[in-house]
Amino acid sequence: MTTPTGRLAWAQAQTYDAVDDRAVITALSRGRIGLVSPPVVEAGTGLQLIVRGGWLGVASCGDRSNAVVGDRVDNTVQANPGPGTGSREDVLWCDTYPDEGYWELTVVTLAQAAGRFGLPIAGLVVPANANLASQMTIIPMDASLDRRLMSHSTFNGVVQPGVGWNYGTWGQAAAINCPSQPVVMEPGQWYKVRYFARNPDLVQGPSFIGRLGVGYRTAGQDVSTSILAAESCISYAATNRPTSAIVEWVFRHAKNDARVTRVFDGRMWHEGNGIYRIGSRTGGGNQPHLTLTVEDAGS
């Protein structure tokens, strides 16, 4: 009987398949992708973006394996002109080509980035009719390979009473939406989404029930497509009596699901006709009224 044997997978001198090397990278990074050393991205001449050398990351390859990407020298990437009206969110993306053994930097729209293999390395906000990279807002990406807190965002509304908080449904409350940064969902990973409301209170009206909820959508989709995933009640026992509320959603991205980039949304709405406000009594300091966090809870 032959004893089963296997080849040790590291960069040994003996002949071995590149997929073995990527399997080692995947194992050591625990299946996660992200930047280890974020790049410095600057506006160049015309529509050119300069990606300074020294960046490093782990990118997906589309075959359940990951690869190391990065460069020690500067690179130049061509951005795209601005739209005729409004603004557009673009992503500086690192595409991977494992069969050919190379990576490539390109600029894509946020919609094109959804479900794309590789790694985002910077964000861009492109204003209308922009024809220079210097007219764009470059949004750096943080180092995230071993980061537990994947996104932290806040929303500050009008403290004084008014119609700003008087939305009656999850869909209507999109007007005061608090979105996360785009977050890559890895198969088999657990995540925790938490939304906290500081000092909401009822200014006028009978005692009503408020709602605090979190939802999700695919990165690049309109805010109106967000699906409510979890909600919590806000109980107003009396007028001018501030309270607080938290909703948490803990879930697992199924092992058999594809890697996907999502945006999570936090919203607050109310049942009944009253006048509400938030952040009315913070006790000093500069605390946000609403806070949304997304955490990687492990596998």
**Span 115-166, pLDDT tens digits:** 788 999 998 999 999 999 999 999 888 777 666 888 899 887 655 444 556 7
| Cα–Cα distance measured from residue 77 to residue 71, given in angstroms and rounded to the nearest whole number | 14
- Position 4 scores a pLDDT of 34
Helix residue spans in the chain (DSSP H): 18-28, 110-113
For residue 43, list its beta bridge partners: 49
| Cα–Cα distance, 72 to 246 (Å, whole number) | 45
Which residue ranges does the chain devote to CATH 2.60.520? 18-140
d(CA 232, CA 213): 6
Per-residue pLDDT at 252: 93
Using one digit for the tens of pLDDT, what is the confidence trace for 59-96? 888 888 888 898 888 999 999 999 999 889 899 999 98
Helix (H) or strand (E) holding 55: strand 55-60
pTM exceeding 0.85: no
Instruction: Select 149-298's CATH number: 2.60.120, 3.40.109, 1.10.20, 3.30.1490.
Output: 2.60.120
Taking only the tens place, the pLDDT of each residue in 227-241 is 999 999 888 878 888
22, 61 contact by CB (below 8 A): yes
What is the model's pLDDT at position 182?
84
Q: What is the mean pLDDT of the chain?
A: 83
Give the angle subtended at the CA of 288 by the CAs of 281 and 150, to the nearest 5°. Answer: 150
Both structure tokens of 168:
């009656």
Q: Hey, which CATH number is domain 18-140, 1.20.1070, 2.60.520, 1.10.533, 2.60.40?
A: 2.60.520
CA distance 166 to 78: 45
- Start-end ranges of CATH 2.60.120 in the chain? 149-298
